[in-house]
Amino acid sequence: MSSGERLPRHLREVVFVDGVRTPFGKAGPKGIYAETRADDLVVRCIRELLRRNPALPADRVDEVAIAATTQIGDQGLTIGRTAALLAGLPKSVPGYAIDRMCAGAMTAVTTTASGIAFGAYDVAIAGGVEHMGHHPMGEGVDPNPRFVSEKIVDGSALVMGSTAENLHDRFPHLTKERADAFALASQQKYAAAVAAGRIGPELVPVATRSAEAGWGLATVDEPPRPGTTLEGLSALKTPFRPHGHVTAGNAAGLNDGATGCLLAAEEVAEELGLDVGMRLVGFGFAGVEPEVMGVGPIPSTEKALARTGLSITDIGLFELNEAFAVQVLAFLDHFGIADDDERVNPWGGAIAVGHPLASSGVRLMTQLSRQFAERPDVRYGLTAMCIGIGMGGTVIWENPNWSGAHTEGAQK
């Protein structure tokens, strides 16, 4: 090639090979991870990904991207690199930390996937961790006073529960009764998925320690409330506003947990004999008014759909992060989807299982990948979530098991 010629660049297909997570715990001194380090939760996920995929040589991992919203203490110090070292990956494998609040792990995936598509990486590990018991959201943060003094945002924009109340104000037809009914369904669908063995195989057992109780083993999620009833939900306090709508029952709790996934170029996955759970189609992030951050997934989904040439009717499965019930309801109403549509969070969501902030995006993806394996009739699915300070994120995936993939004249 002469010095005057440009190097050819060819984008590659990116696939989601496998995903795992720790059981999610309740934050606080009584939670299962109260005396467990955040970085050790990530280490368990990385080691488990390698154990479950023995065809992958550890030195073929080109990058480790781990998200954390509060990057201090045991989830600081460039946790992608430190967790990679602690997990026993070769010292030649680099890593970094990333933060987009609730969409941290989602952004770890889209960022490393972009590098794979461009040819900078062949294989990457992406995930996230949040130990909200050790590091409550906003710990150590010093918001610039100009945000409020110059009215860049309303003071409520920095309190996620208050932004959910603002969403109820903006859309009064999204009543507390609808939010409570959606929350109850989340608990019920999660319980049914566990009973059927659908949730569980992706969980990584974690050894826990308590100075008082000794050693234990976390094998199941701690947050779900199987005894939830509509009557009980209706009686809960509204901590963000007197006579409000948002309660501990129709919102995700404060949780601890970690996730991790394996991404690869499709041709590399084939070369190594790795399974393909999903194929990346496209993604979108969007900003909205911080005071109503819950609407964020609406424009991010519209952006992702427009850029991939798909429409909402092409999507056969939705994994929507249930930070607050009202936020999911706003998304469903916008796209004309019923509250009880069977395509939406068929195994329940964060209201039941928990939402350890930066880790949740990969939980959504792991569940969608497992659902794809059961649903060859579905070609496209999406994972979407609202993001603090007024953003939304959406990633669209294709099912490699789609039964029409090789049919002549099949629809998109």
What gap in Å lies between CA 4 and CA 167, rounded to an integer? 56
Q: Give whole-number Cα distances, 98 to 92, 109, 328, in Å.
A: 20, 10, 25
Which residue in the list 45, 334, 355, 406 is annotated as catalytic?
Answer: 355
Catalytic site residue 134?
A: no
Catalytic site residue 386?
A: yes
Q: Which of 111, 169, 126, 166 is nearest to 393 (CA)?
A: 111
Which residue in the list 45, 168, 261, 386 is annotated as catalytic?
Answer: 386
Catalytic site residue 355?
A: yes
Q: Check: CB of residue 109 under 8 Å from CB of residue 261.
A: yes
Q: Check: CB of residue 412 under 8 Å from CB of residue 297.
A: no
DSSP annotation of 23 reads P
Which residue in the list 45, 102, 134, 261 is annotated as catalytic?
Answer: 102
Please report, as a single letter, which amino acid is at residue 168: H
Show the tokens assigned to 214.
Answer: 């000794």
Q: Check: CB of residue 186 under 8 Å from CB of residue 223.
A: no
Contacts 24+ apart (CB under 8 A), 271-275: 272/55, 272/56, 272/60, 273/55, 274/17, 274/18, 274/53, 274/55, 274/56, 275/17, 275/18, 275/53
What gap in Å lies between CA 344 and CA 185, rounded to an integer? 11
What gap in Å lies between CA 328 and CA 355, rounded to an integer? 14
Crossing angle of the two packed helices 360-374 and 104-118, in degrees rounded to 10: 70
Q: Would you please indicate which residues are annotated as catalytic (active-site) residues? A: 102, 355, 386
